């Protein structure tokens, strides 16, 4: 691909001056419109060293309102926080919120291409898949993603390196590493061609920028941004006009669900419970230490009916753990900042450092349960969510994460008993709200959503465990035992 690019394209100084001013004004205006429409934008600058990424970037920034963008410089070396987390974690943290623009000077492609060159092939096919899924997820979520590749010839690169080195105050800018990469120019051409082939997708196309003439390159970049913004603004306005009316929810009569087949009479005696709980907690503590030394991250996700006993299980699970090694993340309605990001964004933030445990009290499955049922997202959105969630869990698992997902099942009568008990217990009164009663009325809708969720997201790498929870004691033992057994098998 790169060898076919015509690098002789230029533009005259006069034309450039005229165009630059006009395009700059237009870009600034479009940025304001994008902001009003709350569209997030990510622009990535990839390309050869000395192709002029910094210069181009600066020219673009000049036209934009500095309060609406930030620049992320992606280094080759990972810091400790990044090193101990899945590949894309650090990019999730740097993504723009709605209405803002993030410019990436190098991006998630940096590590992959470097590793290809150095023949660290172990992970790269996975990495391209993860990247494609990541980009699709972001653009499906409303983000504009512009991928620029600044191209110059090997000869030009050499000339520019030499010029920089002649300038004594800038000599430091060209390193030994740069010269090594220069000598590998042809290898990189192959790697970049492969990168384009694998990641030039419909939702996130590459734009190759002929960068031998910096004026030509600048104008091309401006035009690319302007055209993309215009198209997106048009689309967004259309979408707002055609906004579908809210889903009326799932209407249904009584349905047979897989959870109806669960044996909710399962129980355990108080004595057995005490004994076994002590043993399981001790083992969990030992495994926690093993997880830490082996640097295995663990995610424990709890879903279930209101009053199914999630809080009680979490308490027993953590009771004997080293508090420095786990975090419990309660998931409530999203706040301002979370709302201004992709719905999965807030679950990436607390991803545990390798060796640590992150417990989620309610999870990303809210998208296909409460958000589906209450019509907080469109049908297209929750339908897409199953594969988005599967992808996310696959990334975690590929990184070595042990993922537990527990569904806490009680029947409708048991829920009623617990609601009533909460209403009269001074210590538990706070735990029962009108919303709980409202949710209860939608029991059958939840069952349908639940069945679909389990079927579509029960994967080998992140299986669901259905927990019979009419007996709180039985449920607690089952959860802890499931964890201990899986640790035994996997560690």
Residues lying near its own copies in the complex (CB under 8 A) are found at 25, 28-29, 32, 36, 54, 57-58, 61-62, 65-68, 70-71, 73, 79-81, 103, 105, 169, 286, 289, 311, 314-315, 318-320, 322-324, 327-330, 335-337, 359, 361, 426-427, 430
Q: Which is nearer to its own copies, 78 or 258 (CB)?
A: 78
Q: Which is nearer to its own copies, 454 or 484 (CB)?
A: 484
Q: Which is nearer to its own copies, 28 or 141 (CB)?
A: 28
- Closest CB 463 distance from its own copies, rounded Å: 24
For residue 88, give the nearest of 110, 115, 103, 57 by alpha carbon: 110
Q: Which is nearer to its own copies, 239 or 339 (CB)?
A: 339
- Closest CB 50 distance from its own copies, rounded Å: 15
Q: Which is nearer to its own copies, 205 or 282 (CB)?
A: 282
Q: Which is nearer to its own copies, 25 or 380 (CB)?
A: 25
What's the sign of the alpha-carbon dihedral 392, 394, 399, 400? Answer: positive
- Work out the widest C-alpha separation in the chain, in whole angstroms: 89
Q: Which is nearer to its own copies, 300 or 467 (CB)?
A: 300
- Closest CB 340 distance from its own copies, rounded Å: 8
Q: Which is nearer to its own copies, 51 or 259 (CB)?
A: 51
Instruction: With residue 456 as reference, give the H or E element that holds it.
Output: helix 443-457
User: What is the dihedral angle through the alpha carbons of 19, 21, 24, 26, rounded to the nearest 10 degrees?
Assistant: -80
Please give, one letter per residue, the 3-state secondary structure of 111-161: HHHHHHHCCCHHHHHHHHHHHHHHHHHHHHCCCEEEEEEEECCHHHHHHHH
For residue 39, give the nearest of 225, 206, 236 by alpha carbon: 236
Chain-centre distance for alpha carbon 307? 30
DSSP states of 335-382 as a string?
-HHHHTS-TTHHHHTTPPPTT-EEEEES-GGGGGTHHHHTTSS-HHHH
- Closest CB 387 distance from its own copies, rounded Å: 29
- Closest CB 170 distance from its own copies, rounded Å: 9
SS3 319: helix
Q: Give Cα separations from 481 to 221, 276, 279, 281, 283 (angstroms).
A: 57, 9, 10, 9, 10
Residues contacting 444, CB < 8 A, separation 6+: 250, 252, 253, 254, 255
SS3 327: strand
Q: Which is nearer to its own copies, 55 or 132 (CB)?
A: 55
- Closest CB 317 distance from its own copies, rounded Å: 9
Give yes or no for a contact between 27 and 132, defined as CB atoms under 8 angstroms apart: no
Residues contacting 205, CB < 8 A, separation 6+: 147
- Closest CB 56 distance from its own copies, rounded Å: 11
- Closest CB 119 distance from its own copies, rounded Å: 29
- Closest CB 319 distance from its own copies, rounded Å: 6
Q: What single-letter DSSP state applies at residue 88?
A: T
Q: Which is nearer to its own copies, 58 or 205 (CB)?
A: 58
Q: Give Cα separations from 246 to 210, 243, 249, 359 (angstroms).
A: 47, 9, 8, 32
- Closest CB 75 distance from its own copies, rounded Å: 10
């Amino acid at each position: 691909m790169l060898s076919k690019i015509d690098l002789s394209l230029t533009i005259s100084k006069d034309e450039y001056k005229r165009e630059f001013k006009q395009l700059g004004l237009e870009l600034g205006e479009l940025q304001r419109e994008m902001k009003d429409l709350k569209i997030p934008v990510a622009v990535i600058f990839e390309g050869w060293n000395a192709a002029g990424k910094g210069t181009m970037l600066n020219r673009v920034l000049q036209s934009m309102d500095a309060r609406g963008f930030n620049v992320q410089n992606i280094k080759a070396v990972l810091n400790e926080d990044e090193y101990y987390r899945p590949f894309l974690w650090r990019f999730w943290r740097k993504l723009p919120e709605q209405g803002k623009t993030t410019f990436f000077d190098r991006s998630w492609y940096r590590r992959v291409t470097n590793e290809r060159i150095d023949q660290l092939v172990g992970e790269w096919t996975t990495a391209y898949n993860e990247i494609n899924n990541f980009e699709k997820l972001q653009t499906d979520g409303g983000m504009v993603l512009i991928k620029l590749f600044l191209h110059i010839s090997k000869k030009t690169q050499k000339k520019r390196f030499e010029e920089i080195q002649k300038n004594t105050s800038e000599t430091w800018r060209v390193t030994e590493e740069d010269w090594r990469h220069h000598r590998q120019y042809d290898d990189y051409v192959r790697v970049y061609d492969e990168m384009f082939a694998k990641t030039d997708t419909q939702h996130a196309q590459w734009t190759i920028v002929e960068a031998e003439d910096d004026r030509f390159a600048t104008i091309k970049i401006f035009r690319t941004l302007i055209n993309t913004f215009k198209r997106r603004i048009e689309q967004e306005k259309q979408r707002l006009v055609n906004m579908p009316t809210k889903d009326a929810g799932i209407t249904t009569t009584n349905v047979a669900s897989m959870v109806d087949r669960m044996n909710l009479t399962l129980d355990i005696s108080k004595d057995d419970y005490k004994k076994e709980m002590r043993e399981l907690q001790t083992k969990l503590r030992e495994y926690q230490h093993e997880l830490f030394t082996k640097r295995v991250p663990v995610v424990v996700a709890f879903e279930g009916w209101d009053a199914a006993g999630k809080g009680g299980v979490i308490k027993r699970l953590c009771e004997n753990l080293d508090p420095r090694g786990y975090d419990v993340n309660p998931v409530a309605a999203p706040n301002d900042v979370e709302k201004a990001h992709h719905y999965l964004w807030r679950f990436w933030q607390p991803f545990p450092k390798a060796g640590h445990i992150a417990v989620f009290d309610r999870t990303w499955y809210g998208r296909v349960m409460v958000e589906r049922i209450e019509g907080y997202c469109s049908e297209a959105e929750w339908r897409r969510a199953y594969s988005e969630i599967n992808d996310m869990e696959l990334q975690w698992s590929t990184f070595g994460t042990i993922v537990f997902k527990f569904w806490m099942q009680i029947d409708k009568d048991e829920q009623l008993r617990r609601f009533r008990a909460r209403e009269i217990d001074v210590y538990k009164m706070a735990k029962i709200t009108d919303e709980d009663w409202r949710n209860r009325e939608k029991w059958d809708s939840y069952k349908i959503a639940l069945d679909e969720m389990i079927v579509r997201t029960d994967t080998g790498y992140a299986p669901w465990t259905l927990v019979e929870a009419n007996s709180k004691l039985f449920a607690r033992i089952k959860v802890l035992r499931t964890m201990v057994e899986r640790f035994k098998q996997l560690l």
